[in-house]
């Protein structure tokens, strides 16, 4: 296991195994996503693409359904 994964899990007060499982299954809450993105030094756009890949697509579908 990578030392940075262990360090990040400790920051989030999770076990490394629990963090990896939540990360892989996209089950992190918004606070955990913010801390993880900050730790990984991601920009806002990179964070959106990594954690919310279908966000813009779903938004456009909702707009089409309404109008």
In this prediction, what percent of the chain has a pLDDT beyond 90? 61
Contact criterion met (CB below 8 Å) for 12 and 32? yes
Low-confidence winner among 11-15, 16-20, 32-36, 58-62 (lowest mean pLDDT): 58-62
User: Per-residue pLDDT tens for 1-18?
Assistant: 789 999 999 999 999 999
- Determine if residue 14 is left, alpha or beta; phi over 0 gives left, psi from -120 to 50 gives alpha, anything else beta: beta
In this predicted structure, the answer to whether residue 57 has a pLDDT above a threshold of 70 is: no
What pLDDT score was predicted for residue 15?
Answer: 96
């Amino acid at each position: 296991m990578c030392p940075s994964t262990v360090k990040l899990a400790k920051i989030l007060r999770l076990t490394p195994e629990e963090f990896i499982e939540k990360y892989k299954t996209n089950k992190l809450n918004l606070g955990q996503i913010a801390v993880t993105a900050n730790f990984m030094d991601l920009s806002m756009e990179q964070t959106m693409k990594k954690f919310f890949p279908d966000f813009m697509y779903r938004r456009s579908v909702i707009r089409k359904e309404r109008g």
